[in-house]
Chain A
Amino acid sequence: MSDTPLFKVTIDNITVEVPAGTTILQAARQVGGDVAPPAMCFYTPLEGSGGKCRTCLVEVSKGSEKDPRPMPKLVASCRTTVMDGMEVKNITSDRVQDARAGVVEFLLLNHPLDCPICDQAGECHLQDLGYEHGSSGTRYEFQRRTFEKHDLGKYIQLHMTRCILCYRCVFTAAQVTNSREHGVLDRGDHAQIATYIEKSLENDFIGNVIDVCPVGALTDKTFRFKNRVWFTKPVYASCDCDKCCGEVTLWMRGDEVFRVTARKDEWGEIKTSPKTGKTGWICNDCRFEKKKLSQWKVEGLADISRHSVIGQGKYPLLEKSNETISKVLDGRKPRLLMDIHSVSEVNRPEIDLSEINGPATSSIFKKQ
């Protein structure tokens, strides 16, 4: 590695030095903040991903020190490697912003407006992109492409209608799991992620396609409709798992574990596990089966961006405050005039939503 030359790149007037072979996107991520272009299909741990969604388009105003001509067209920054002395414009270029708004409009052509229903809302990259670049209306006048919702095995729900065909899950299934059982069928407008003849995905690591999906096309069925992402508190936890690194994020509410995901960095990509030094993919057992707090060793709060809705209305603390009333009252308990569970229908103690293996239905809420 030491013989790789360092290239100087200037992105939005900020100069960084990166080793040769780095893509513009990775160099921009080293700068961080708004300078990093958004990426819907590129995913660092997945080999061969990127170059499909075109949201990461940037303008190269100077090719390199030796050949300072600008590149004639906008280039996909996730697939273009840097050259020495390259000058890149991302947020400083009107052309890029304009093109990106166009790309977002195209991505949203067939995307349904069902964010109120979708479990990905709150951590959806397309939602972020839509807020930043999309216009509030659509110019599309035709019937949107729709598919029936589809079960991929007993844990994963596929909403093909929401899919933007980024191929991340296909790469995950091919690279992380040993066998590839799902892919993209048909072409053009009819293209869809599917398994042949309802073949369920049985691999131990197939749950990772949920984390990889930038939209809500692939969602966790054990978490389906149970809670909104922003009402749950992400907590880092670990367990001794013989299949995977066992380092996960628990999405908790009180002491209930509603969802288990891998740990993600600020770009929404699965972090490298410090224990194994590899990407921290987690196995299906950890993701879907371990929904009790006693099965996990809590390590601390997950990092949440200050601007994220996930941090809304939560104390950045894990410790519960001590109950001091009985100490003050010499061991007597206060006489409560009203038990909230005798009035409230929500959060009934006998219903533990996190223990149900699928979405709640009307029969669960019926009075026993």
Chain B
Amino acid sequence: MQSLSNRAKQIDRSPMNMWERMYLPAIVKGLSITMKHALKKNPTIQYPEQTRPFAPVFRGLHVLNRDNEGRERCTACGLCAVACPAEAITMEAAEREKGEENLYREEKYAAKYEINMLRCIFCGLCEEACPKDAIYLSETFAPANYNRRGFIYGKDDLLIPNPVTEKEAYEKAAGGRVRKEVTVTADK
């Protein structure tokens, strides 16, 4: 009968001869394969100590961005929430008061901003929708947790460290990469 893939091999079930019964050539053949692999470079990455570099398009945990003066960029426009296919993002907006100009970039800001990481599918549509460069998907994984409550990420979890007041933490988070100086005056 013609086999479907044409790759079927007929098995020879005839009794082994003397030479084959000694198993010596088979052992040598097997050992040579082992030796070949023993001399090869080890492909295993010792994960917690070593890490594999992320691809440039990797989409990981979200961060909420600040501008160079440390003001929050998000204006709670809701475009990320409306773009989100998993409906993971919710927010509540507030008006900036006098004296809060160093905290928020524009007259409206996200007083509350939440991403439900249980819902999030890390598609990156929020990043694409954002008109203010406020939300980015970083090169980190969402850490595992035994509780569901650990996956509701608020603004405290998402905001990057302030580059003015928390300089060290900011540089550590940026991972040695210097952000390009972009000076765009905020619209009034």
Question: Which residues on A are within 8 Å of B, measured CB to CB?
Answer: 112-117, 121, 146, 161, 224-228, 230-231, 309, 312-313, 337-338, 340, 342-347, 353, 359-362, 364-365
- Is there an interface contact between A345 and B114, defined as CB atoms closer than 8 Å? yes
B159 contacts the other chain (Cβ, under 8 Å)? no
Q: How far is the CA of A343 from the CA of B114 in the complex (A)?
A: 10
Chain A residue nearest to B116 (CB atoms) is: A344
Question: Given contacts A116-B75, A360-B111, is CB(A346)–CB(B92) below 8 Å?
Answer: yes
Question: In the assembled complex, how far is the CB of residue A234 from the closest CB belonging to chain B, in whole angstroms?
Answer: 16
Chain A residue nearest to B188 (CB atoms) is: A146
- Is there an interface contact between B152 and A343, defined as CB atoms closer than 8 Å? yes
Question: In the assembled complex, how far is the CB of residue A366 from the closest CB belonging to chain B, in whole angstroms?
Answer: 10
B149 contacts the other chain (Cβ, under 8 Å)? yes
- Is there an interface contact between B79 and A362, defined as CB atoms closer than 8 Å? no
In the assembled complex, which residues on chain B have CB atoms less than 8 Å from the CB atom of A313?
A: 82, 87
- Is there an interface contact between B148 and A225, defined as CB atoms closer than 8 Å? no
Question: In the assembled complex, how far is the CB of residue B28 from the closest CB belonging to chain A, in whole angstroms?
Answer: 61
In the assembled complex, which residues on chain B have CB atoms less than 8 Å from the CB atom of A231?
A: 78, 81-82
Question: Which residues on B are within 8 Å of A, measured CB to CB?
Answer: 75-79, 81-82, 87, 90-95, 97, 100, 106-108, 111-114, 131-132, 148-149, 152, 154-155, 187-188
Question: Given contacts A117-B108, A343-B149, A344-B152, is CB(A112)–CB(B97) below 8 Å?
Answer: no
- Is there an interface contact between A362 and B82, defined as CB atoms closer than 8 Å? no
- Is there an interface contact between B188 and A345, defined as CB atoms closer than 8 Å? no
Question: In the assembled complex, how far is the CB of residue B113 from the closest CB belonging to chain A, in whole angstroms?
Answer: 8
In the assembled complex, which residues on chain A have CB atoms less than 8 Å from the CB atom of B187?
A: 112-114
- Identify which of B77, B100, B131, B152 contacts A362 (C-beta below 8 A): B100
Q: A227-B78, A343-B152 are in contact. List 15 more A-B contacts (CB 8 A).
A: A114-B106, A116-B132, A117-B108, A225-B95, A225-B108, A231-B78, A313-B82, A344-B90, A345-B112, A359-B94, A360-B92, A360-B95, A360-B111, A364-B94, A365-B92
Question: Given contacts A364-B94, A365-B94, is CB(A230)–CB(B106) below 8 Å?
Answer: no
Question: In the assembled complex, how far is the CB of residue A327 from the closest CB belonging to chain B, in whole angstroms?
Answer: 27
In the assembled complex, which residues on chain A have CB atoms less than 8 Å from the CB atom of B106?
A: 114, 116-117
In the assembled complex, which residues on chain B have CB atoms less than 8 Å from the CB atom of A116?
A: 75, 77, 79, 106, 131-132
In the assembled complex, which residues on chain B have CB atoms less than 8 Å from the CB atom of A344?
A: 90, 114, 152
14 contacting pairs across A/B (C-beta < 8 A):
A116-B75, A116-B106, A117-B77, A121-B77, A230-B78, A230-B82, A231-B82, A309-B82, A338-B149, A343-B152, A345-B154, A353-B92, A362-B111, A365-B92
In the assembled complex, which residues on chain B have CB atoms less than 8 Å from the CB atom of A338?
A: 148-149
Q: How far is the CA of A346 from the CA of B116 in the complex (A)?
A: 11
The 8 closest A-B pairs by CB, nearest first: A116-B77, A359-B95, A228-B78, A360-B94, A346-B90, A343-B149, A343-B152, A225-B93
Question: In the assembled complex, how far is the CB of residue A180 from the closest CB belonging to chain B, in whole angstroms?
Answer: 29
- Is there an interface contact between A346 and B112, defined as CB atoms closer than 8 Å? yes
Chain B residue nearest to A359 (CB atoms) is: B95
- Is there an interface contact between B94 and A161, defined as CB atoms closer than 8 Å? no
Question: Given contacts A113-B187, A365-B92, A365-B94, is CB(A342)–CB(B107) below 8 Å?
Answer: no
Question: Given contacts A116-B132, A121-B77, is CB(A225)–CB(B94) below 8 Å?
Answer: yes
Q: How far is the CA of A287 from the CA of B37 in the complex (A)?
A: 78
Chain B residue nearest to A309 (CB atoms) is: B82
In the assembled complex, which residues on chain A have CB atoms less than 8 Å from the CB atom of B148?
A: 337-338
- Is there an interface contact between A224 and B95, defined as CB atoms closer than 8 Å? yes
- Is there an interface contact between B112 and A365, defined as CB atoms closer than 8 Å? yes
Q: How far is the CA of A112 from the CA of B107 in the complex (A)?
A: 13
Q: How far is the CA of A231 from the CA of B92 in the complex (A)?
A: 12
Q: How far is the CA of A255 from the CA of B106 in the complex (A)?
A: 30
- Is there an interface contact between A362 and B78, defined as CB atoms closer than 8 Å? no
Q: How far is the CA of A359 from the CA of B100 in the complex (A)?
A: 15
Question: In the assembled complex, how far is the CB of residue A210 from the closest CB belonging to chain B, in whole angstroms?
Answer: 18
- Is there an interface contact between B95 and A346, defined as CB atoms closer than 8 Å? no
Chain A residue nearest to B151 (CB atoms) is: A343
Question: In the assembled complex, how far is the CB of residue B92 from the closest CB belonging to chain A, in whole angstroms?
Answer: 6
Q: How far is the CA of A346 from the CA of B78 in the complex (A)?
A: 14
Chain B residue nearest to A337 (CB atoms) is: B148
Q: How far is the CA of A346 from the CA of B152 in the complex (A)?
A: 11
Chain B residue nearest to A114 (CB atoms) is: B187
In the assembled complex, which residues on chain A have CB atoms less than 8 Å from the CB atom of B75?
A: 116-117
Q: How far is the CA of A231 from the CA of B91 in the complex (A)?
A: 11
Q: How far is the CA of A364 from the CA of B93 in the complex (A)?
A: 11
Question: Given contacts A117-B106, A228-B78, A365-B112, is CB(A347)–CB(B92) below 8 Å?
Answer: yes
